[in-house]
Amino acid sequence: MNADSSQSENRRRAWTIPGMILALAMLTVSVGWGCGPMEATLSIARAQKAITEAETNRASAGVFSAYPYQAAKIYLHLARTKHGFGEYEICEEYAAKALERAELAVVKARAYQEFLIQKEESLREMRAKEAE
């Protein structure tokens, strides 16, 4: 019985105030470390979604806005690489750059498409006036 009583006494000592503070500190640190991979993964997902939107037929950023589109794809690749090496802060930075470039590609592609539509309409009007 002495062995049982000494084990229960050790358990009581472990959960004193300093023991609880230590356990809480360890829990806080482990949760804090867990956020890095989750935030990095979410950043990559946001960037991938923006690149997918840029690839759609409506935007066609690969054709009408090639530089920002390719830059977004490269930054996404770098973000995934850094994520694989556990460099989550750098991964988030690259993913943010990929998201920014993908959004820029969409804006530029749509603006260029609008320009082409307006140009085509003005050419039609000019041809219609010449035909009169």
- The CA distance from 87 to 56, in Å, is 31
Band (14; pLDDT cuts 50, 70, 90): low
What does the domain layout of the chain look like in residue ranges?
Answer: 37-131
3-class DSSP assignment, residue 56: coil
CA distances from 104 to 50, 107, 131 (A): 10, 5, 40
> Can you read off the two tokens belonging to residue 122?
């003005």
- The CA distance from 96 to 106, in Å, is 15
- The CA distance from 93 to 49, in Å, is 16
Summarize pLDDT for 31-72 with one digit per residue, the tens: 555 578 889 999 999 999 999 988 886 678 888 889 999 999
pTM: 0.68
- The CA distance from 64 to 102, in Å, is 13
Give Cβ neighbours of residue 39 (< 8 Å, ≥ 6 apart).
Answer: 88, 92
> Considering the chain, what percentage of its residues have pLDDT values greater than 70?
72
Predicted local confidence at residue 72, as pLDDT: 96
